[in-house]
Structure 1
Amino acid sequence: MDYFRWQTIFYTKPWLKIWPSRLSKGYIESRPKSGFYVKRQMAEAITTPEPTRPNTIPTLVSGQEMVLHLVKSANNPKMVQFGAAVPAHSFLPTHLVTQAFRQVAKTHPAEVNDYQFPPGLPELRQQIARRMVGNGCDITPQDIVITDGCQEALRLALRACAEPGDVIAIESPTFYGLLQVIHSLRMKAIEIPTDPDTGMSIPALKMALDQWPIKACVLVPSFSNPLGLSMPDQAKHQLVELLSKRQIPMIEDDVYGEITHGTRRPKPLKAFDQDDWVIYASSFSKTLSPGLRVGWVASKRYHDKLEYFKYASNLATSSIAQLAVTEILQSGKFERYLTRVRPQYAFAIDRMTAAIIELFPQGTKVTRPKGGFVLWVELPFEIDTFELTKRLIPQNVSIAPGRIFTTTENYNHCLRLSCAVDWNRQTEWALLKIVNEIKLMKNE
């Protein structure tokens, strides 16, 4: 459909008002007491990207300075945030978090004003351990160190098991925050081919292990960022077995694991870990509040190092934030919130997928995640999406260009979109701006 015709439709009839016509076209179906889902007809029309094929050579991470400019643009309240993997407030339990802060300020006035030195608040570690045991992990409260979000957890884990100059195996593409951590620790990254549906290629990883002195492997096996992939249980077991035999630690980033689109979350890698070579990292940034900065890292083998590095880095994580999260977990309201919000995330993914199929150039490929809230989009022709990003920022539209998810020159024609946005006329116009700039760049 011609861009200007779509412009007229959006201007006169916002997307939400014309959504019933999409139901009749077979894109979305309503299920009683369940929500809305992409129908099979549309799902079959989705073409997913091929497995990635990066150069498996250790590389110093560079060029991540560009990320800071993009992140700063997220502070602009006028910006439509497709670029930052941060849920809109409507997806988060803002009232629940606010209530918890008020409650603990009244009931724990002394603890609120004291340091909670590493490993962190005992009651919080107990609650986290209970949840992890429920997911099949052999973890006790004594194995857990509370951190300032998952980013710090990843940094502590890498410091505990590797040194500057060491080679770290990662997915390709991978979360740019991990690349920044590797860069700041002066380590090298080796990108392993990754399937957008099933995750890191185990045969390719084995070949890399035979060829290079890899000291650790970092991956997001459940609803990864940016691909949204979900590694099957059998592959998780094979991966843990492969690296455990070689005594190479695996650092598991499970920050998206709770945001399944189904009824049960996937098993973490840690659930398959019999010999304690998996260092588990996660946080509540994607499920409760990004501003809480409450995460954790769990390992028996590396616990003492993790605890020391946490203390040496910044003494402690916010006491009131730890108390508030503990209050929410103990109340049982966190689980009820997850049950309520998971269909909301699933619908957000389906809605954005339908828009991409309808609006983006023919031949565009898009991932089909079973959890989380990001989509990886591969354009059918070579357009520099970093240049596209720079063109969109002055128009108050943010996307994440493919280049920032790699140490190589790959993925220049790819972008990541966050789907956890408030869907309104401004959002619709932002999508049209993206499509219009793509067409202009193609014709230049």
Structure 2
Amino acid sequence: MAKVYLYSEIANGIAFQIRNGVLKAGEKLPSVRMLCREHGVSMNTAKRIFLELEAQSLIESKPQSGYFVSKLLQQKLSLPDISRPSLIANDKEPNELITKVYAKMGRDDLTLFSIGVPSGNLLPLAKLKKEILHAIRELKEGGTEYEPLQGNVKLRRMIAVRSLTWGGNLNENDLITTSGGMNALSFCLMALGKPGDTVAVESPCYSGILQLAISLGLKVLELPTHPITGIEIDALKKVIPKINLCLLVPNFNTPLGSCMPDEHKKEVVELLAKHGVPLIEDDIYGDLYFGSQRPKCCKSFDKEDNVLWCSSVSKTLAPGYRVGWIAPGKHKEKLLKLKFVHSISSASIIQEAVGNFLKTGRYENHLHHLRSALKSNYQNYIHTIAEYFPVDTKVSRPQGGLALWVEFNKDIDTIKLYDLAIKKNISISPGRMFTLQNQFENCMRLCIGLPWSDDLKFKLKQLGNLAKMIS
């Protein structure tokens, strides 16, 4: 039986009461202190309960008044089911479907719900241009010389400084820069895996990770995953003897948007270290939290130097800059050798510009506005889906990130829905893209990184009407 943590048990109980009308829309909830007394929990646990309920948009906070049951229509919407993939490694990918969907990238006439990056309208483009010009002026030889193999010193130093926000306690020498987040993951898999090895991942899982693993000759074992709390740890325990590597996106993964609780992260890190299985942690969405505090990383609990922490600015600042990094722990020399063989050096000007953007504080200011926009988008999407999609639609409740996972009834094939939607200039990501197994045919991922507008709402309404047509 899966282990249930106290805060989850209490949060689930309150959520059940809200969804079943015991607690009415607009009704005030007990205060944090009252919750502590009633359930015998700490202030931090009580706050975590409210944050989880707020992230699901079941409750809302009002300054100096407390927490109230949300009036949003989304209370009608259930959570998607916990995934139940076969615990047998697979290596067959849906190539044709992935190619068809991503071939539409760059088309201005499409509403791209299918591409999981923030719109340029949500990014500080003018400020970034100034940083590029500044970097050209400041760098020796205008940035034409090779960078040190580990990467731009300023960038690594600023990433190390920011790691304090999630308990990373890194320094600049712990980090290696890469050409984006996928390049970081690629180096990690190449350094630690060999053809025929098995890597465990979430299910559903980002299609790029699945494609990367298969391209390197690895077998992929998909783990059952809860839409709120991430992988089922009991399932991981069962397959430990079968796996050589584990690659997880514990904070707001795509497409589910789940966020592993700290207790789960700690348990997973200790479990994998005990069995000598390296953990590759993709933390690319960690800065896009909707609550008041950034979630910790698995690396925060890494006492054995067994976690390779990877991230980038591709989902937060500049997708096209291809700036990423790794904190590889005890595998540093293997990673440096791979970087030298495959790329020799990183792009000097771009990394200097990003490093300076972080140093001046502009990045934090930008993140504040981006998180606010994404949280508002999420709430608008949910409200629109509740109003216009089939009544039995289920939707994830991400606490951050860029993705919504939508689950229809079994009669709706989202590949057919994609074909209908593209005729209306709407592109979605069918759920079958995010697995190597025959599952999620009735699911889809929607990107919430597009600026909200009446037109975007109309496109979502059209999508809902198309789903009703084929249900």
TM over 0.5: yes
Are residues 1:87 and 2:87 paired?
no
Question: Would the aligned equivalents of 1:228 and 1:371 in 2 still touch at CA under 8 Å?
Answer: yes
Provide, for residues 270-298 of structure 1, a one-character-per-residue CA deviation record: whole Å limited to 9, x for no partner: 00000011101100011111011100011
CA distance 1:58–1:297, shift in 2 (3 Å)? same
Unmatched 5+ residue regions in structure 1?
1-22
Are residues 1:287 and 2:336 paired?
no
Higher relative contact order (CA 8 A, sep 6+): 1
1:346 maps to which of 365, 375, 378: 375
Are residues 1:410 and 2:439 paired?
yes
2:288 maps to which of 259, 277, 280: 259
Residue 383 (structure 1) aligns with: 412
Residue 153 (structure 1) aligns with: 184
Are residues 1:195 and 2:226 paired?
yes
* Matches of 1:405 and 1:135, distance apart in 2: 28
- Range with greater deviation from structure 2 (326-335 or 400-409): 326-335
Question: Would the aligned equivalents of 1:277 and 1:301 in 2 still touch at CA under 8 Å?
Answer: yes
* Aligned pairs (5 A) from 1:64-79: 64-79=95-110
Question: Would the aligned equivalents of 2:58 and 2:75 in 1 still touch at CA under 8 Å?
Answer: no
- Range with greater deviation from structure 2 (60-69 or 266-275): 60-69
Residue 58 (structure 1) aligns with: 89
- The number of residue pairs the alignment matches comes to 414
Say which SS state the counterpart of residue 224 (structure 2) adopts.
Answer: strand
Are residues 1:363 and 2:377 paired?
no
CA distance 1:178–1:38, shift in 2 (3 Å)? farther
Task: Report the Cα offset of residue 142 of structure 1.
Answer: 1.7
Question: Percent same amino acid at aligned positions?
Answer: 36
Task: Report the Cα offset of residue 413 of structure 1.
Answer: 0.3
Task: Report the Cα offset of residue 385 of structure 1.
Answer: 0.8
Question: Would the aligned equivalents of 1:53 and 1:193 in 2 still touch at CA under 8 Å?
Answer: yes
Moved over 4 A (4+): 26-33
- Range with greater deviation from structure 2 (354-363 or 140-149): 140-149
* Matches of 1:208 and 1:109, distance apart in 2: 51
Are residues 1:100 and 2:131 paired?
yes
Are residues 1:235 and 2:268 paired?
no
Say which SS state the counterpart of residue 289 (structure 2) adopts.
Answer: coil
Question: Would the aligned equivalents of 1:58 and 1:188 in 2 still touch at CA under 8 Å?
Answer: yes
Are residues 1:48 and 2:79 paired?
yes
Question: Would the aligned equivalents of 1:269 and 1:278 in 2 still touch at CA under 8 Å?
Answer: yes
CA distance 1:360–1:306, shift in 2 (3 Å)? same
Unmatched 5+ residue regions in structure 2?
1-24, 27-56
* Matches of 2:74 and 2:60, distance apart in 1: 12
Are residues 1:401 and 2:430 paired?
yes
Residue 160 (structure 2) aligns with: 129
2:344 maps to which of 308, 311, 315: 315
Residue 7 (structure 2) aligns with: none
Say which SS state the counterpart of residue 103 (structure 2) adopts.
Answer: helix
Alignment TM-score, normalising by the size of structure 2: 0.84
* Matches of 1:319 and 1:360, distance apart in 2: 48
Alignment TM-score, normalising by the size of structure 1: 0.88
Question: Would the aligned equivalents of 1:27 and 1:354 in 2 still touch at CA under 8 Å?
Answer: no
Are residues 1:335 and 2:378 paired?
no
**Amino acid paired to 1:297:** I
CA distance 1:144–1:347, shift in 2 (3 Å)? same
* Matches of 2:273 and 2:95, distance apart in 1: 31
* Aligned pairs (5 A) from 1:34-45: 39=70, 42-45=73-76
Question: Would the aligned equivalents of 1:197 and 1:230 in 2 still touch at CA under 8 Å?
Answer: yes
* Matches of 1:45 and 1:67, distance apart in 2: 32
**Amino acid paired to 1:325:** V
**Amino acid paired to 2:95:** Q
CA RMSD, 1 decimal = 2.2
